[in-house]
Structure 1
């Protein structure tokens, strides 16, 4: 039987979860911006704006300690971080472009090495997704196979209803358990009608055609045209729900310190700088080419998935106006024209 939850009860659910000791993360006002941040009460929740940054920080922090070390009397001891201290978390109000991303990242974080920091947060997090009833010119989720009502990655999914409140569906056991623990907050949906959803004004792209063009056009002049504008600032990667590059550094002194993971970005000039001084991606066009190749070819080659959910953040906040949808749309058109392959290999 379909269920619904009122706006009041949704905020009461947050209050209840916080009192139970859960960490609740959702969109909240932070100065002039809306960000995914820990909520202390239901009234903190903001649902009419897409947060500036993605929700990946709930699983993959900007910076995190993975061990500490100390040297005393010639002996060094190492202390691992106990991943079991990760709190039970509810991520609420995640738009489809954000809710889908953690499941895509599962592949790389559990590939040849299982990153328990990421995976334990995934295991201990319940995601409450929210359908989109508005979109702007930067949204392109439908172009990469998602939609404003996509439930991929959500444990509980909310659809806004005419007259207020939200229809509730539970695609996973996590979502069912959450509803079962708080039955007094959910009602039968009855004949309530959902609000019209927002379809981005873009055409669906042929991702396999794009991948095929990338396979044969490593040295295309296209990359040089884009690089004339790219500043290599890394904003696109840091805002993206699916970008996941990181570096590991030891911080402290010779006697005491921590080993920490920090976000990194393939657009940075020193990202591939070797200890010898050689840099295989020594100019910006090679670095932006890698960004597109990684999202629409390499990740698909390795894991059978596209590393982009069409959230549009990189378009909205690029300081030089690079539009990733326009780039892949152009590649889609070139693939359709069956242009001959370029030369060269990575």
Structure 2
């Protein structure tokens, strides 16, 4: 049976988790924006708007050190960073479009190579999702097969009640463990859910879009879109599911570090080879890869889409490119002829 938790007790839960030494991440006011940031107290929780950046930073930091080196008279010492030192974490009040990206990222970071940094963070994180009560014109989660109360990726899931407080549904064993450890803050009951947000864009025919992409690797559409694309990478950096990264050694002769940092397939040098050859040397090829990766390649490889419809790329694009409009247009295009060569 579902439990309920009052707004006051949700804040107390955060305080309790912080006092237990856990890292608690949640929406927090940061100047004029809301961001997913570490919370020092429950009072810092800000549920007024979708955070500007996604929650993927909880598991996949913008930049992280994976080893350090130091040279002295004795030689060179290389020290690996211990993933075991990553703290236990609770991600609180994450929106469904952010939470649904976590299982998507799991696939790529545990496929042919086990990324111990990412997987350690994921394994040590309990996610408390929160249903969306509002949506703006950029939201399109329902168009890509999700919903504003989708529990995918959550361990516990909160739904706002009309009388105040939240219904709490247990989704996983992790969620059950957290609830059991803090049972005094929860009450028996169900309650009446408050109205959910309703994104303006309805469901897209994703199968039809995939079929078109299968057969139109070469198409004038890519040049039409890329005429506007600035290649700034804002869309990739804000996306909950984009996961490109680069690894660089930073420092000097005596000491330094090897770091993993975010990258983006929209950047001009992303595919630059050591030989100087660049197989995606113009922007139409790079934007094509963005759409193909999200709605064809990832589907072919993992049977999942690399997009959760959060709309951040739409809001942030400096030249007004709208991925939902692009997908809608693809869904209406003639299926042939074309070339699916890739």
Q: What TM-score, normalized by structure 2, do the two folds share?
A: 0.98
Asked whether 1:345 is paired with 2:338, we answer no
1: CA distance between counterparts of 2:301 and 2:271?
20
Aligned residues, how many?
342
Secondary structure of 1:24's counterpart equals strand
Asked whether 1:65 is paired with 2:61, we answer no
Shift of 1:344: 6.0
Q: Where does 1:163-242 land on structure 2 (aligned, <5 Å)? A: 163-190=163-190, 192-242=191-241
Q: Where does 1:1-346 land on structure 2 (aligned, <5 Å)? A: 1-73=1-73, 75-190=75-190, 192-334=191-333, 337=334, 339-343=335-339, 345-346=341-342
Going from structure 1 to structure 2, the CA distance change for 1:205 and 1:273 (only over 3 Å counts) comes to same
Alpha-carbon deviations, 1:39-92, whole Å to 9, x = none? 000000011210000000000000000011122237222111100000000000
Secondary structure of 1:152's counterpart equals coil
Going from structure 1 to structure 2, the CA distance change for 1:303 and 1:252 (only over 3 Å counts) comes to same
Contact persistence 2:239–2:313 (CA under 8 A): yes
Alpha-carbon deviations, 1:189-235, whole Å to 9, x = none? 25x21001112111211222211111110111000100010000000
Secondary structure of 1:174's counterpart equals helix
1: CA distance between counterparts of 2:281 and 2:94?
37
Alpha-carbon deviations, 1:240-276, whole Å to 9, x = none? 0000000000000122110000100000011111122
1: CA distance between counterparts of 2:130 and 2:165?
12
Q: What TM-score, normalized by structure 1, do the two folds share?
A: 0.97
Contact persistence 2:265–2:286 (CA under 8 A): yes
1: CA distance between counterparts of 2:326 and 2:110?
30
Alpha-carbon deviations, 1:307-327, whole Å to 9, x = none? 000000000110000000001
Contact persistence 1:213–1:341 (CA under 8 A): no
1: CA distance between counterparts of 2:340 and 2:231?
24
Contact persistence 2:2–2:170 (CA under 8 A): no
Alpha-carbon deviations, 1:270-309, whole Å to 9, x = none? 1111122211111111110000000001111111110000
Contact persistence 2:213–2:340 (CA under 8 A): no
Range moving further from structure 2, 41-50 or 204-213: 204-213
Structure 2 residues not aligned, in runs of 5+? none
2: CA distance between counterparts of 1:270 and 1:289?
16
Range moving further from structure 2, 205-214 or 9-18: 205-214
After TM superposition, where is structure 1 displaced by more than 4 Å over at least 4 residues in a row?
A: none
Contact persistence 1:29–1:46 (CA under 8 A): yes
Contact persistence 2:18–2:24 (CA under 8 A): yes
CA-based RMSD: 1.0
